[in-house]
Amino acid sequence: MTARKKSIAAKLQALQQRFITELPARLDDIDQAWQACQQTESSDLLHRLVHSLAGSAGTFGCTRLGERSRELELLIQQRYVSADASVTDMTIEQRVHELRDIAVQGPDNPVREVHKETVIAPPATNKQALIYLLEDDAHLATETAEQLKHFDYRVVTFNDVDALQTVVAQQVPDVLLADIHLPEGADAGPRVAAKLRKGAAQDIPVIFISGHDDWQDRLNAVRAGGQAYLSKPVNFSLLLDELDSVLGKEQVSPYRILIVDDTPLLAEHYADVLQDAGMQTEILNDPVKILDVMPVFHPDLVLMDIYMPDCTGVEAAQVIRQHPAYTNLPIVYLSTEKGLDQQLAALRVGGDDFLQKPIGDAHLVAAVLFRARRFRELTALMNRDSLTGLLNHINLKQALEREIAQAQRRHSSLSFVMLDIDQFKSVNDSYGHPVGDRVIKSLARLLGQRLRKGDIAARYGGEEFALVLPDTEADAARRLIDDLRQQFAQISFAHDSGDFNSTFSAGIASFPAHVEMNDLIAAADSALYQAKHSGRNRVQLDSDD
C-alpha cells in the first residue's frame, strides 16, 4: 500500500473510531428524544436523530445498526405522520433499546476504501515535458525541436536506434516521437518503440511520424502501441494537439464539491473520500451559510443531506435556485429515504439526483465525478470559445470587471491587453480557413502556456484576443507581450505549397490610469490601432500615444 493510500486509510479509520466513541452519547440523545416525544407527541427531533444515525452508521462499518435505525425511522413516520395504529409506543421503545444492544457489538464491516478505478488522476504538473525524437532526417529533427521549444517542450533528438535505447535506459521520456522508416529497417521505428515500451518501468506514449501512408505502416504503428500517426511534412499544429492530448495538458483543475450535512463526522468522511479521489471539498454543517460560501468556493456540485434542523435540504436547494448564477449547478441529495414518490418530490424542487445513505465510497466518487465533470463541460460550452477553449467575449468582460474591483480593494495594478493577428484575412484567403483556425489555436495555446495561473486569456472575436494581467504594471506587461510576439513570429504553419509565419500586434492599457472597465478596453483598443498603423508586429502602450 502506498503512503498516500495508508494516509487516507488511517483517516477513515480515525473517523470510524470517533463515530464509535460518540455513539453512546448519540444513543442517549435518541433515548431522551423518545421520552420527550411521548410527552409532547412531537417526533421531529426523534426522527432527525434516528435519520442521522441511519445514514451514518453503515458508512462507519456498523451496517446492522444502520439498517435497524432505518427501520426505526420508518416506524416513527408510520406512528406520528401516517397515524398507523398498528405501530405502538411499545414497538418503538423496543427498537430504541435494540439500537443500544447492537451498538455494543461494535462494527460488523471494515471501513470501505475507494476503488482504484474511480480515482481521478492528479492534476498535471507544470514541469517541462521531455520529448525524445527518433528521426534520421537531421533538418527535420532540428526544425521539430525548434517548433516544440516555443510551446515549452524539451526535445532531445536521436538519429539512430542504439543511441536512443542507451538514453532511455537512463531516463524515460514523457513522449517518444518516432519515424517509421529508419536506416535500421522499414519498420525500425515501431520495433524499437515496442521494445522500449515493454522494457520500461512505465508506459511510454508514442507518436509516429512518417513520410509513408500505407496500411502496413499504420498497422505496425498500432501494434507498437502508437497513440497517433502523423504524415510528413509535419503539421506542427496537429502535432501539438496530439502532444497536449497524450500528456493530459487539457486536464481540468480539481472538481470543487460543497458538502452540506449536519452530521460532522459523516461530512468529514465524504470529504476525505472525495479528496482522496482528487477533488477539493468544503464542508458546511449549517445550510444557512450556503450563499456566503458559494461565491468564494465556486462549487461544481453541492452534495446535500435532506433532513437537517431549521432548514431541510430541499428548502436549501430552492433558495440556491433563486439565484440565476446557480440555475445549472448540480445539487445531489443524500438521504436514507427509499420511497420513490418522496425522492421524485425532492427532485422536482431543485435537485438533480438522489443518493441513498449509506452509500459506498466508490459509488459516491463515481456519482459525484460524473455530474461535476458534466457541469464543467456544459459550463465550458456556454462560457468558452469552442475553437480555442479560452473565455468568450461576454465572460471576459465579467472577469475584467471582477479583477478591476479586486485591484481597487488591494490598491494594486492591472494591465489589459488587446492582441490582433496581423493580416489575418490574407491568411484565410491564401491558405484557407482550416489553416487560419490553426494559426488562431496556436496563438491561444502559446498564451495559455506562457501566462501565469491568475492571468486571464480570451478570444475577443475573430482573430482578436484579450488578456487580463492582475498585479502587472504596464511596462512589465509590454515585456511579456513583446516576448510572446517574438515567439509567435517564429512558429511555422504548414500548407500545401510550403510553410509560412504569422505575427500579431498588441495594445496595452492599465489600471489605475483607467478606472472604468469600458475606458480600459477603449484605451487598449486605441493602442492596438496605433500598433497596426505604425507597421504591425509590434506592442504599443496606451501611455505612448
Q: Which of 111, 140, 167 is the last residue of a domain?
A: 111
Q: How far is CA 267 from CA 257, 261, 273, 412, 520, in A?
A: 11, 6, 10, 38, 45
Using one digit for the tens of pLDDT, what is the confidence trace for 266-298? Answer: 889 899 999 988 899 999 998 889 998 988 888
Same domain, 67 and 161: no
- 188 occurs within a structural domain: yes
Same domain, 243 and 261: no
DSSP structure class, residue 338 = -
Rounded to whole angstroms, how far apart are CA atoms 258 and 414?
Answer: 31
Return the pLDDT at 251: 47
Which H or E run includes 99?
helix 89-104
Residue 162 has pLDDT above 80, yes or no: yes
Same domain, 504 and 440: yes
Same domain, 399 and 476: yes
Using one digit for the tens of pLDDT, what is the confidence trace for 32-74? Answer: 989 998 888 788 888 888 888 887 888 888 888 888 888 888 8
For residue 180 the three cell numbers come to 517509421
Rounded to whole angstroms, how far apart are CA atoms 35 and 40?
Answer: 9
Return the pLDDT at 265: 87
Q: Kind of pairing, strands 492-495 and 498-501? A: antiparallel
How many angstroms from the chain centroid is the CA of residue 209? Answer: 31
Q: Which of 198, 218, 247 is the last residue of a domain?
A: 247
- Count up the domains in the chain and report the number: 4
- 388 occurs within a structural domain: no
> 129 in the Ramachandran plot: left (φ > 0), alpha (ψ -120 to 50) or beta?
beta
Same domain, 240 and 261: no
Q: Which of 111, 143, 165 is the last residue of a domain?
A: 111
Q: How far is CA 377 from CA 10, 389, 501, in A?
A: 34, 11, 33
- 121 occurs within a structural domain: no
Residue 250 has pLDDT above 70, yes or no: no
Count how many residues are written for the chain. 545
Which of 144, 199, 142 lies closest to 168, judged by CA?
Answer: 199
Return the pLDDT at 328: 84
**Alpha helices of 424-473 — where are they, by DSSP H?**
424-431, 433-450
Mean pLDDT value across residues 445-466:
88
User: What whole-number percentage of the chain has pLDDT above 90?
Assistant: 28
Q: Residue 507: exposed, middle, or buried by beta-carbon count in 10 A (0-12, 13-18, 19+)?
A: buried
Same domain, 457 and 362: no
Residue 254 has pLDDT above 60, yes or no: yes
Q: Residue 149: exposed, middle, or buried by beta-carbon count in 10 A (0-12, 13-18, 19+)?
A: middle
Amino acid symbol at 109: N
Q: Are 168 and 148 in contact (CB under 8 A)?
A: no
- 376 occurs within a structural domain: yes
User: Considering only 214-228, 248-262, 508-522, which range has the smallest mean pLDDT?
Assistant: 248-262
Same domain, 463 and 376: no
Using one digit for the tens of pLDDT, what is the confidence trace for 484-534? Answer: 999 999 988 877 777 899 999 999 999 999 999 999 999 999 999 999 999
Rounded to whole angstroms, how far apart are CA atoms 115 and 119?
Answer: 7
Same domain, 204 and 344: no
CATH number of 102's domain: 1.20.120
Secondary structure of 470-524 in the HEC alphabet? ECCCHHHHHHHHHHHHHHHHCCEEEECCEEEECCEEEEEEEECCCCCHHHHHHHH
Return the pLDDT at 340: 62
**Alpha helices of 333-360 — where are they, by DSSP H?**
340-348
Return the pLDDT at 121: 43
Same domain, 293 and 314: yes
- 298 occurs within a structural domain: yes
User: Considering only 385-394, 416-425, 464-473, 532-541, which range has the smallest mean pLDDT?
Assistant: 385-394
Amino acid symbol at 455: D
CATH number of 202's domain: 3.40.50.2300
Rounded to whole angstroms, how far apart are CA atoms 468 and 480?
Answer: 12
Q: Kind of pairing, strands 129-134 and 153-158? A: parallel
- 124 occurs within a structural domain: no
Same domain, 193 and 295: no
- 119 occurs within a structural domain: no
CATH number of 508's domain: 3.30.70.270
| Cα-Cα end-to-end distance for the chain | 64
Rounded to whole angstroms, how far apart are CA atoms 517 and 288?
Answer: 34
DSSP structure class, residue 112 = P
DSSP structure class, residue 285 = S
Q: Are 298 and 379 in contact (CB under 8 A)?
A: no
Helices then strands, counting H and E runs in the chain, come out as 19, 17
Same domain, 83 and 208: no
Cis check: omega of the bond before 512, within 30 degrees of 0: yes
Same domain, 261 and 211: no
Other Cβ atoms less than 10 A from the Cβ of 125: the count is 7
pTM of the predicted protein model: 0.53
Beta-bridge partners for 459: 465
Mean pLDDT value across residues 164-176:
90
Q: Domain limits at 150?
A: 129-247
- 350 occurs within a structural domain: yes
Q: Are 73 and 81 in contact (CB under 8 A)?
A: no
CA torsion angle 298 303 309 314 (round to 10): 90
Residue 122 has pLDDT above 70, yes or no: no
DSSP 108-120: SSPPP---GGGSP
Return the pLDDT at 485: 95
The 10 Å CB-count burial string (b at 16+, else e) for 307-329 is bbeeebbbebbeebbeeeebeeb
